[in-house]
Structure 1
């Protein structure tokens, strides 16, 4: 039977989490799906774990390492469903995830991207007390640029026909069709969402239940934040090539929101000094986040000040007690 939904799950060195991701797909109340696991050339036991599953709806596709965008493109090109669901292999879904998105898309033919709210889990899979509560309707390209209501790469289910509106040939492999930009190693999702909205005129709409469990970690280096911001600027550079007026109109405000988000990440990583610098840069770019979301902006500043005064270890203990494990953006 032809699957209604193709679930695309790239796998690269995630042996600690991949079984949870697969189990969450196989536990879906909606059964008419295929799970395309894209082996992206990792070196751990991840794919051995994947091969231990015998469900006939699972297919494993192996390729040399291309990164997340390249693995997603490979999966989409192999997909047979009219809907494409994305799941990162360290995240999980609730059992009703696919069923509710299929109902949403079937009954709203003008919606090209359906997404849900998400809740956070820690590295051990334990729920945190924070959720992503995105804007669900009336979403403009400006909303996507500034706040990315989709939230994370495991939240959306897309029409295949919507993706085809922005498909392009790989720049060096003429036979390969791309949807995500493989030259980006971060922010590739927001780049695609913007292209879908601006070039494909695709409508985005969300459903309220928190159906995705998005895993966050507390470790890492502040250099990750610099790379993430550089990647976001790469998205802006691409945007400027096909929608320069839009990019110019929204850049300062979107930059301010991005810097505030990264400030919250810096607090999470324990770098209060970087968080304060990012907040200052955010305010210098635009005061709109402070006006439009004063509580979140002030909470970010308060967290950065507290982290500086208390020190990373003591602040981590206090924020863990308050947030159910970690401070997250």
Structure 2
């Protein structure tokens, strides 16, 4: 249960504009918050991230940009996530709790609706930031008069603290070598897919255009939201620096690529259907190519899953059903065989 009382803690039941109920847990010092509004509202949606949330919060506390507020939205976690959030004695931290499990999109919307900062920064509960991230991104935004700023991601395997590679490095063949900040418009977003990045938004821009995450989406919500922001004439600038540490962990949605990609494909189809072909024809065409790309990725994921488990019979069955896909499957088989040989040689 969420700690609702004791040590002066007070709880308030509130209703969001979308009709969702949230419980706001307020510490005594938070009831006398400073009159000055923060520059940045850091939004942390959290679901069963007891083992990771402390690192996320600590990374915000360590930011060189000091005038921030934290809005943590616990999405009915069943572990100790609530206890981790509640142990911080910092007047800048507000903790909300959804009355039921709403998913990442609605949790972010709840936090945005409670935000007071000029900027809104997204931080997932199992990730963390490098100390200068906010300060550098805000400087980039002001220098380019941007409504949205992002940076490269440091990809960190589960169980490790240091990144193995950055997102842009893994995509160098597709995106080229990125050495300086660049702008992204709606067409470039649909073509190149920067939905993996974690943005910082100008809150006034979001409110002026009534932009919020689609609460029905549990995957692909970042791509959908960013593209709708860009279609509303938002100016987006991406830094070549990597200051967001993205953790890949078992149990997260991205650890089940077939399910995740199916939801992304559904998102792309719904987003395409919402656009006007008379004014957004190029974007619609690009979304069609994006959908085909994700369909191919899903086919690969369906073959890769049994391959990684050593279920060779299932792999053979898939190959026989889809002989035209053999040129795509064979390199995966080769890599798996090499990996097995290396593992056995090390024993």
TM interval, shorter chain, is 0.7 to 0.9
Is it true that 1:305 corresponds to 2:333 in the alignment? yes
Is it true that 1:80 corresponds to 2:116 in the alignment? yes
- What does the per-residue CA deviation read over 1:140-169, in whole Å, with 9 as the maximum and x for residues that have no partner? 3232123322523xx21111122224426x
Is it true that 1:89 corresponds to 2:125 in the alignment? yes
- Kept in 1, the 8 Å contact 2:194–2:223? The answer is no
Partner in structure 1 of residue 39 of structure 2: 4
- What does the per-residue CA deviation read over 1:201-252, in whole Å, with 9 as the maximum and x for residues that have no partner? 1121111211000001367899933322222222222332224434542134
Structure 2 residues without counterparts, runs of 5 or longer? 1-35, 169-174, 309-314
Is it true that 1:208 corresponds to 2:240 in the alignment? yes
Distance 1:157 1:138, change over 3 A: closer
Equivalence map 1:26-45=2 (5 Å): 26-45=61-80
Give RMSD over aligned pairs.
3.3
Partner in structure 1 of residue 229 of structure 2: 196
SS class of match (1:162)? helix
Equivalence map 1:171-320=2 (5 Å): 179-198=212-231, 200-217=232-249, 224-236=256-268, 237-244=270-277, 245-246=281-282, 248-259=284-295, 262=298, 271=307, 273=315, 304-310=332-338, 314=340, 317=343
Partner in structure 2 of residue 149 of structure 1: 194
Superposition TM-score, scaled by structure 1 size: 0.75
Partner in structure 1 of residue 27 of structure 2: none
Structure 1 residues without counterparts, runs of 5 or longer? 169-178, 284-297, 319-329
CA distance in 2: counterparts of 1:25 and 1:70, whole angstroms: 22
CA distance in 2: counterparts of 1:247 and 1:282, whole angstroms: 30
Of structures 1 and 2, the larger Rg is shown by 2
Superposition TM-score, scaled by structure 2 size: 0.72
- What does the per-residue CA deviation read over 1:34-93, in whole Å, with 9 as the maximum and x for residues that have no partner? 010111111110110111111111111122221100100000000000100000000010
SS class of match (2:147)? strand
SS class of match (2:164)? strand
Paired residues, what number? 284
Is it true that 1:71 corresponds to 2:107 in the alignment? yes
Is it true that 1:123 corresponds to 2:158 in the alignment? yes
- Kept in 1, the 8 Å contact 2:196–2:222? The answer is no
SS class of match (2:184)? coil
- Kept in 1, the 8 Å contact 2:253–2:260? The answer is no
Partner in structure 2 of residue 163 of structure 1: 206
